[in-house]
Amino acid sequence: MLLKGVKLGQTVLGVRGITKRFPGVVANDAIDLEIKAGEIHAVLGENGAGKTTLMNILFGLLQPDEGEIYVGDKRVRFRSPLDAIDVGIGMVHQHRKLVSAHTVLENIILGHPRAGRILNLKRAEEEIRELCERYGFSLDLRAKVWQLAEGEKQVVEILKTLYRGANILILDEPTSALTPHETEKLLASIEAMSRDELAMIPFITHKLPIVLAISDRVTVLRRGKVTARLETRQTTEQSLAREMVGREVIFRIERTQVERGKTILQVKDLAALSDRGFLALNGVSFSIREGEIFGIAGVSGNGQQELAEVLAGLRKAEGGNVLIDGQDITHASSLDRWQMGMGYIPSERIDVGSIGDFSLVENTTMNYYFDGDYSQRGIVDYGNIRELTKEIVDEYSVATPGPDTRAKNLSGGNLQKLILGRVLSRKPRLLIASLPTQGLDVGATEFVRNKLIEAKVEKSGVLLISEDLDEVLSLSDWVAPIYEGKLMGIIPGEKAIRENIGAMMAGSQSKGQET
């Protein structure tokens, strides 16, 4: 480790002129960055701004084409993350990089040079407990990781980097999967660590309030370049957003008013198990009418995924009923539901919503092979489906060389647009959209949201499941926060207050909110 005896305020990590090019795009363009010991320095930027590339370079996962990295005053070159770890840089990933089946202790000491031939768990346990006390973490070291909550898993990753001797921590979207309560705890820990002269670098996309709450300085990236270096005290959410996007950002979308029709979907007391056998849905009831967007807001893992799957016919309902247009379809197959006018846009667009090795035409066929107009007497009319695919590609501006390209060659946004187009072309009565804008850039997100509104205008009923609270608030006619498999309330969109919904997502009962 290079950094013994570093004083507060000294530069511990210097990045000069880092440039990285990929075919067709300059991901990082002459980026300069200076991180001081004991500071919390946020790096802000939209998807595609170059944050991930920069982060990977700092952690040794990528090599820069140009530029230098200095740790302390020594120039360093990372051939792999091991080199970065050796000089004291640690990374806490957005999607947990832990072995779920192993215990907390085993995860922390994996690969540690001091782990010893025969595992000396006791000594490691003591040392790690010390770390926990120091920064206010409380964790059962002998628990298996899969049993932990998201926030606790993140603590394990933090401990892992600390135990390896990191004093510069890169945090990738640290609060994206946390409940508001867990977020508070994390922020407190980050403060504690920074007081101990560790440098913390959170890389963030949208949680602007977090940036304002916790960081000392902010560096904003846009299109691969640094567009602003600001002292957090001297900036506002609005100005940060403007630097990120390059124009004034509208935070609230006007909600379109549409006349409501009859009830399409009725869900009564629905219960279902998660993959691990726990009760994921615990008695959910609601209904959706024509022309409505019903938004379910919640942190991932509270039953939304299971709800979508049960409604789509992909998961068994352990109890309760689902009715479409008055007909009980609780035990109907998913094929039946497609034929009855349900449409489902799954959150996993690559593994479930599409088949990468299939052409776009074949992907369209996924929702049309059973359709009498396109498939008669067992023979699929590929010619017709091809025409349909071309129409979809046109209408939804899917960037692709042609309908015979393989789906895996499409970018995330274009793939999602294709799936959206394919499902919407069936004019579903009920549209279930699960995390429809996740991972998409600004342009694609806007497009998808507009299409959802269009569907509502065309008198479909839309069930929107999203982890983006702002998205739910701005699009939905009804907002239903979900927590541990129960809907904590059903609030009309105009009357929903952000803080209250956030609190309900974290488990508190509705306070003074109408349901």
Q: For residue 42, what are its two tokens?
A: 């946020």
Residue 149 DSSP label? -
Residue holding tokens 């950002």?
A: 249
User: Residues 6 or more apart from 5 whose CB is under 8 A from it?
Assistant: none
The nearer residue to other proteins, 1 or 110, going by C-beta atoms, is 110
Q: What is the CA radius of gyration of the chain?
A: 25
> Virtual CA dihedral for 189, 194, 197, 199, nearest 10 degrees?
110
Q: Considering the complex, what minimum distance in angstroms separates the CB of residue 76 from other proteins?
A: 14
Q: Considering the complex, what minimum distance in angstroms separates the CB of residue 102 from other proteins?
A: 7
The nearer residue to other proteins, 101 or 457, going by C-beta atoms, is 101
The nearer residue to other proteins, 259 or 357, going by C-beta atoms, is 357
Residue holding tokens 């039946």?
A: 336
Largest CA distance in the chain: 79
Q: Considering the complex, what minimum distance in angstroms separates the CB of residue 184 from other proteins?
A: 27
The nearer residue to other proteins, 286 or 382, going by C-beta atoms, is 382
List phi, psi (to 5°) of 446.
-60, -45
Q: Considering the complex, what minimum distance in angstroms separates the CB of residue 310 from other proteins?
A: 14
The nearer residue to other proteins, 91 or 240, going by C-beta atoms, is 91
In this structure, are residues 125 and 141 in contact, taking their beta carbons and an 8 Å threshold?
yes
In this structure, are residues 475 and 456 in contact, taking their beta carbons and an 8 Å threshold?
no
The nearer residue to other proteins, 83 or 391, going by C-beta atoms, is 83
Q: Considering the complex, what minimum distance in angstroms separates the CB of residue 414 from other proteins?
A: 16
- With H, G, I as helix, E, B as strand and everything else as coil, classify residue 109: helix
The nearer residue to other proteins, 50 or 343, going by C-beta atoms, is 343
Q: Considering the complex, what minimum distance in angstroms separates the CB of residue 63 from other proteins?
A: 6
Distances in whole angstroms, Cα of residue 489 to Cα of each of 98, 178, 267: 34, 20, 15
Q: Considering the complex, what minimum distance in angstroms separates the CB of residue 336 from other proteins?
A: 8
Q: Which of 220, 175, 165 is nearest to 54 (CA)?
A: 220
Q: Which of 120, 132, 203 is nearest to 162 (CA)?
A: 132
Q: What angle do CA 153, 154, 159 make, to 5 degrees?
A: 100
The nearer residue to other proteins, 252 or 377, going by C-beta atoms, is 377
Q: Considering the complex, what minimum distance in angstroms separates the CB of residue 406 from other proteins?
A: 6
Residue holding tokens 């449409």?
A: 343
Catalog residues that contact other proteins under the rule CB under 8 A. Answer: 61, 63, 79, 81-82, 85, 91, 97-102, 106-107, 109-113, 115-119, 160, 276-277, 312-314, 333-338, 344, 346, 348, 351-358, 362, 365-367, 369-370, 375, 378-380, 382, 406, 408-409
